């Protein structure tokens, strides 16, 4: 059997797509390998979100020079966002690459591979689609723990945040048939999985109807009952079984609805955790970023979450420091927003200008790198103290933890997560991987809770 080595970079959507790719290529006789030396086809599923992400891929490609010299029949392909952004230019820039395939062209991979193999020609397909592309493909789970899995519910993004390359690399927003999503979730549960994460760049704008899944036509659609919204989908997956935990990512603050918050409140198995990227705490910068909400709107959403779900609900964010023209005072607004919310966790970055985005065309990338980095350090420091503060609140409380595996450091300890998405480590004694256990928290640091098995 031919061997496929596939490596994913970037967001969860890419990791999920790689499982679709593995499924498509399995039908062509490819089995997965983690050993580069024995691989016949190497695919890198790439990310373009920041310049650094692309540099990482280019460095990785250099590692393959020796392999290819030793085995000239080895085929190397670039998938994902970098493939879509650079298209056939990538073949000139990186001579080692044989295949360039964008996120909507994975069904064409068997042909692209054949072209390289049989005709000794490089192959490219970066055509984006207006329709959901992969809904009836059963993904081959990669490096799975057999307990948690991703399910893609939509593709693309229509939001056009001015800093962001994703709308260009992933194309227009489209939602997947809810029946195929629920079937995939049921199937996973029947195989022993206990947690699914519904994935999309902006899950709250999920929208599907029987007549059409074309969003433009949907807006004219009159019978509201026929439309499945994200809150409906969330409820449909929650009802599969109380033992199946449901998570989702990512929510855009402008789109998350009270209906969604109520579903989280009403179903114990819908996890009390929301990733709600703010990006900045300053309204002028948010406007420039084209996020379409301001500081006040954002803080009101956080209030809604705390009122409806409760103060314990896990909340995390993404932040960008040093966006075009950001002043010290405006950066200070991000710090005070953090003080207001006290996030459990944040993903933090300094601004990286991306070719073709609105910000690159319209605004000057004028904040010096050392200022961007210093501001980033400041928010990271603040987040660390807040994470510790939030984690300390859990001490002496008991949580229902889904056991996902052994602790990285020792097989005498198990690792799991609470509904609020906090990682818990506890002695192995009675816990069984894949089960729910009650753990009483004894201690913590800013990243992890430590506890003891109760029941
Ligand atoms: N769809 C998600 C974000 C996906 S990208 C959302 O809207 O929240 C993940 C994160 O990368 C973003 O939230 C943002 O914080 C960061 N990011 C995106 N473009 C960036 C850029 N040009 N420079 C630095 N960080 C960026
Ligand atoms: Fe990018 Fe904004 Fe879309 Fe998120 S919502 S993927 S940040 S354009
Ligand atoms: Fe990166 Fe593409 Fe995801 S740019 S963050 S892999 S959608």
Which pTM value belongs to this model?
0.94
Q: Is residue 157's pLDDT more than 50?
A: yes
pLDDT band at 179 (very low <50, low <70, confident <90, very high): very high
- pLDDT tens figures, 378-401: 999 999 999 999 999 999 999 999
Give mean pLDDT, residues 324-334. 98
pLDDT of 289 over the 90 cut: yes
Q: Nearest C-alpha to atom 13 of ligand 1 is from which residue? A: 318
Q: How many CA atoms lie within 13 A of 103 on its CB side?
A: 33
Nearest-5° Cα angle at 132, 107 to 214 = 145
The predicted structure's pLDDT at residue 133 = 80
Q: Does residue 322 contact residue 365 with C-beta atoms inside 8 Å?
A: no
Token pair of 31 as six digits: 């089995």
**Whose structure tokens read 């009159």?**
222
In ligand 2, the atom with minimum distance to the C-alpha of 160 is: 8
**pLDDT at 200 > cutoff 90:** yes
**Residue 225 has what pLDDT?**
56
Going by pLDDT thresholds of 50, 70 and 90, the confidence category of residue 341 is very high
Task: Verify whether ligand 1 is closer than 6 Å to residue 346 (CB atom).
Answer: no
Helical pair 295-308 and 258-266, crossing angle rounded to 10 deg? 30
Helix (H) or strand (E) holding 401: strand 398-406
Residue 449, phi then psi, degrees to nearest 5? -105, 145
Give residue 416's pLDDT band: very low, low, confident or very high (50, 70, 90).
very high
pLDDT of residue 60: 96
For a pocket test of ligand 1, which of 324, 349, 350 has the largest count of ligand atoms closer than 8 A to its C-beta?
A: 349
What torsion do the CA atoms of 307, 309, 313, 317 make, to the nearest 10 degrees? -70
Among 7, 8, 11, residue to substitute to test ligand 3 (most atoms within 8 Å of Cβ): 11
Cross-strand pairs, 30: 2
Task: Provide the 10 A C-beta neighbour count for residue 420.
Answer: 18
Q: Is 293 in the pocket of ligand 1 (CB under 6 A)?
A: no
Q: DSSP states of 220-236 as a string?
A: H---GGGEEEHHHHHHH
pLDDT per residue over 184-198, tens digit each? 999 999 999 999 999
Q: How far, in whole angstroms, is CA 8 from its chain's centroid?
A: 12
Structural tokens at position 436? 């729910």
In this prediction, residues 45-63 reach a mean pLDDT of 97
Task: Please tell me if the CB atom of residue 13 comes closer than 6 angstroms to any atom of ligand 3.
Answer: yes
Whether 319 has a pLDDT exceeding 50, the answer reads yes
Cβ–Cβ < 8 Å for 322, 363: no
Please state, in angstroms and rounded to a whole number, the distance separating the CA atoms of residues 328 and 190.
Answer: 53
Q: Using CA atoms, how far apart are residues 281 and 237, in angstroms rounded to an integer?
A: 34
User: What does the pLDDT average to over 262-267?
Assistant: 98
Domains and CATH numbers, the chain: 2-125 (3.40.50.12160), 148-392 (3.80.30.20), 398-453 (2.40.50.140)
Q: What is the mean pLDDT of residues 157-161?
A: 95
Question: What value does the mean pLDDT of the chain take?
Answer: 94
In short, whether 79's Cβ falls inside 6 Å of ligand 3 is: no
Q: Which of 7, 13, 78, 128 to mutate to test the pocket of ligand 3 (most atoms within 8 A of CB)?
A: 13
Look at residue 212 in the predicted model and tell me its pLDDT: 55
Structure tokens at 220: 């004219």
């Amino acid at each position: 059997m031919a061997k496929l080595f596939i490596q994913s970079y970037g967001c969860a959507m890419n990791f999920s797509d790689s499982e679709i790719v593995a499924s498509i290529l399995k039908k062509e006789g490819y089995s997965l390998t983690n050993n580069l030396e024995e691989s016949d086809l190497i695919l890198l599923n790439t990310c373009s979100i920041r310049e650094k992400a692309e540099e990482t891929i280019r460095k990785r490609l250099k590692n393959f020079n020796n392999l290819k010299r030793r085995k000239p029949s080895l085929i190397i392909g670039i998938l994902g966002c970098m493939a879509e952004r650079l298209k056939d230019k990538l073949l000139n820039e990186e001579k080692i690459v044989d295949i360039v395939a964008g996120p909507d062209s994975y069904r064409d991979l068997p042909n692209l591979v054949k072209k390289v193999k049989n005709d000794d020609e490089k192959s490219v397909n970066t055509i984006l689609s207006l329709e959901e592309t992969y809904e009836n493909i059963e993904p081959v789970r990669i490096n799975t723990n057999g307990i948690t899995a991703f399910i893609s519910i939509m593709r693309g993004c229509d939001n056009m945040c001015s800093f962001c390359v994703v709308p260009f690399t992933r194309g227009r927003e489209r939602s997947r048939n809810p029946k195929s999503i629920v079937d995939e979730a049921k199937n996973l549960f029947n195989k022993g999985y206990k947690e699914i994460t519904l994935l999309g760049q902006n899950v709250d704008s999920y929208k599907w109807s029987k007549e059409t899944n074309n969003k433009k036509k949907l807006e004219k659609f009159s019978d509201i009952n026929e439309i499945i919204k994200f809150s409906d989908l969330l409820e449909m997956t929650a009802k599969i079984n109380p033992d199946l935990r449901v998570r989702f990512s990512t929510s855009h603050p402008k789109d998350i609805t009270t209906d969604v918050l109520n579903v989280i409140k009403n179903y114990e198995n819908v996890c009390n955790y929301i990733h709600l990227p703010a990006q900045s705490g300053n309204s002028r910068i948010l406007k420039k970023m084209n996020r379409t909400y301001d500081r006040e709107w954002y803080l009101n959403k956080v209030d809604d979450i705390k009122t409806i779900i409760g103060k314990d609900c896990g909340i995390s964010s993404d932040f960008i420091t040093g966006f075009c023209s950001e002043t010290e005072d405006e950066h200070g607004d991000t710090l005070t927003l953090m003080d207001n919310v006290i996030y459990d966790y944040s993903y933090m970055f300094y601004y990286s200008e991306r070719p073709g985005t609105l910000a690159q065309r319209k605004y000057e990338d004028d904040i010096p790198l050392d200022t961007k980095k210093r501001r980033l350090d400041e928010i990271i420091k603040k987040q660390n103290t807040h994470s510790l503060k939030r984690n300390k609140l859990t001490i002496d409380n008991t949580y229902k933890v889904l056991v996902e595996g052994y602790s990285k450091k020792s097989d005498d300890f198990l690792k799991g997560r609470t509904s609020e998405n906090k990682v818990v480590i506890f002695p192995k004694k009675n816990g069984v991987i894949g089960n729910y256990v009650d753990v009483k928290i004894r201690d913590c640091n800013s990243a992890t809770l430590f506890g003891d098995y109760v029941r």
